Structure 1
């Protein structure tokens, strides 16, 4: 193979296939024939032919011309391909557009992300219940489960709730009322991240130690002694 052949091969160009389309075309409702036909359309469009004839597509595939025409019509009806008119001077020229396909891909991608996030949240919530039961050493009561769910509905992230639980354990006040008070104070003070919660907890413990030292350092007042035996 000489350089001219290599140059001709390079001029053929390449077609970029989104990885998401390749791995999720089935989820989009496409079969293999439709998938390949869409790639053929993209190839023609990339080379400047925006309205290839079914016979041109058929020459590249194992399908008959009528089958290609049927697939194109079905893809248009199902909203994967759009037919538009391109204004070229005074003559209107029809063209295919794959914009609807990419819109469907984006919708499917966002849906996939949302499902993954929901699964992560559910996993975190289940883990949260388990951690609370381990710390309390018993199953949570229905009221406690409802309170825990209420905290999560109140935009408290699972990691923040875990941090509040940790603060209650360190303080030796392992009860839901104390944890609820911590979360209330953190929300009031704009505590939203785990690092902020840890910093706030550290400051609180330092403050508590200072208060205890101050109380210990105060002199004990003399109390008059009354001898009941002399009466």
Structure 2
């Protein structure tokens, strides 16, 4: 093979295709033909040809010029490509822009990330309800479910922190919603935001409590009686 010819081919460079576009073009609503046509448009732009004709595109594809023209029309209609004015000296022309494609891709990735976060949040919340029912040994009442929702939605407590408060209530032998609410209130007031901070705060609190006078079994039963703290 002619070394000069090989060097000439290599000097033409390569086209960079975003991996995310390759992974998500189907979810964006692009067909294989439309995707390939976009890649050829991208390649032409890299060569400095900003408004390739259907004939030029057809030379690189298995489509006819008419089919290329129809595919281009659909891409423009679906908002993946736009046509902008281009000024070259005193000559006013037109050029294709792939900016709409990149904007759609970014919007899709953000939406997908938000949906994934929402799904994880729902799974975490379901796990939270299950954990409470296991510790209480019974299904939660509508009022208790509402309280859990308020802790997350109104008070802004992370489900992981609520789980930590539940464990703290179990360790303290005071398994009731009023006590758990007090724990969450104290943690928030004292800037407890992580599980590690919650563990440290709980250990210090129990160490302080252990120095107090022991509570009788009867007093303990009175302590753990459920209290409707939202209506107090």
Matches within 5 A, 1:59-208: 59-153=59-153, 154-208=155-209
CA distance in 1, matches of 2:140, 2:3: 76
Displacement of 1:180 in angstroms is 0.9
Displacement of 1:62 in angstroms is 1.0
Displacement of 1:9 in angstroms is 2.7
Matches within 5 A, 1:32-71: 32-71=32-71
CA distance in 1, matches of 2:65, 2:22: 25
CA distance in 1, matches of 2:50, 2:80: 15
CA distance in 2, matches of 1:119, 1:16: 33
Q: TM-score, normalised by structure 1?
A: 0.87
Displacement of 1:163 in angstroms is 0.5
Q: TM-score, normalised by structure 2?
A: 0.87
CA distance in 2, matches of 1:209, 1:89: 85
2:8 aligned partner? 8
CA distance in 2, matches of 1:166, 1:119: 25
CA distance in 1, matches of 2:117, 2:12: 42
2:52 partner SS: coil
Displacement of 1:63 in angstroms is 0.8
RMSD over aligned CA atoms reads 1.5
Tell me the alpha carbon deviations over residues 35-61 of structure 1, each in whole angstroms, 9 at most, x when there is no partner: 100000001001111111110000111
CA distance in 2, matches of 1:58, 1:118: 44
Tell me the alpha carbon deviations over residues 109-142 of structure 1, each in whole angstroms, 9 at most, x when there is no partner: 0000001101100110111111111111111111
1:155 partner SS: coil
1:228 aligned partner? none
Displacement of 1:2 in angstroms is 4.6
CA distance in 1, matches of 2:8, 2:133: 69
Displacement of 1:177 in angstroms is 0.9
Moved over 2 A (4+): 1-6, 209-213
Tell me the alpha carbon deviations over residues 123-171 of structure 1, each in whole angstroms, 9 at most, x when there is no partner: 1011111111111111111111111111111211111001000110110
Tell me the alpha carbon deviations over residues 83-112 of structure 1, each in whole angstroms, 9 at most, x when there is no partner: 111222211121111000000000000000
Unpaired stretches in structure 1, ≥5 consecutive residues: 214-231
Alignment size in residue pairs:
213
CA distance in 2, matches of 1:6, 1:182: 73
